[in-house]
Amino acid sequence: MVDEQIAHPRDGREPVTDSRVLEAMRMVPRHAFVPTDVRQQAYADHPLPIGHGQTISQPYIVGVMTELLRLGPESRVLEIGTGSGYQAAVLAHLTPHVYTIEIVAPLADAARRALQEQGYLEVQCRTGDGYRGWPESAPFDGIIVTCSAEDIPRPLWDQLKPGGRMVIPTGRDFGVQELVVVTKTADGGRERKSVAPVQFVPMRREGRE
């Protein structure tokens, strides 16, 4: 999967080159994070349904988003949208400081279980609305949002360290979205770089439908 889809994709996609990211993705047993009925397709080059109308991202997109975070071994990283727990497991190979939030309780429970079973004991999981971030454990060097938002959620921006990077799909629900990297400069300014067109499920808000 890593060689053919991520490190050397043959169809014009930009390869992921960060060796720590490639190694992390080689280590995580992706099949352990997907439901049994789609397990044979766990390593295929596309997203997969994980129940509750949600999906686990395509492996290539996980690689691209992880590389964009530029995490070091001491980085603190927050993920919004735990989903299956797969992305959190990849992050856990890069740093022991991984925090992840999922709004759909049964998905959060299943992800917690899968992470435990696979030995990712240091990943901190929370069930709730990730729009608000995780203020008690902020600030973060990296924030990765795996559901799309129309704009950069203000609480997440506030929880990013100066010099930190947020990787987030932005755009209208199910419409055209773009993956962007937003960097907080040393003086708190915002630098935004568009990376690629993507399609993610929209971020939900607690108490709203």
Interface residues with ligand SAH (CB under 6 A) are: 54-57, 80-81, 83-84, 86-87, 101-104, 107, 129-131, 146-147, 201, 203-205
3-state secondary structure at position 5: helix
Tell me the closest approach of the beta carbon of residue 100 to ligand SAH, in angstroms: 8
Residue 67: in which H helix or E strand, if any?
helix 59-69
Tell which residue, 75, 89, 189, 78, has the closest CA to residue 143.
Answer: 78
Tell me the closest approach of the beta carbon of residue 186 to ligand SAH, in angstroms: 29
Contacts (Cβ under 8 Å, ≥6 apart) of 16: 6, 7, 22, 60, 63, 64, 67
* Cβ closest to ligand SAH, residue 107 vs residue 198: 107
Catalytic residue among 57, 75, 84, 148: 57
Burial 120-143 (b: 16+ CB within 10 A, else e): beebebbbebbbbbbeeebbbbbb
Active site residue 57: yes
Tell me the closest approach of the beta carbon of residue 9 to ligand SAH, in angstroms: 19
3-state secondary structure at position 148: strand
Beta partners for residue 125, in sequence order: 100
* Cβ closest to ligand SAH, residue 46 vs residue 191: 46
Q: Which amino acid is at 133?
A: G
* Cβ closest to ligand SAH, residue 187 vs residue 209: 209
* Cβ closest to ligand SAH, residue 7 vs residue 101: 101
Tell me the closest approach of the beta carbon of residue 20 to ligand SAH, in angstroms: 18
Q: In this structure, what token pair is assigned to residue 71?
A: 């995490």
CB 155 within 8 A of CB 90: no
Enzyme catalytic residues: 57
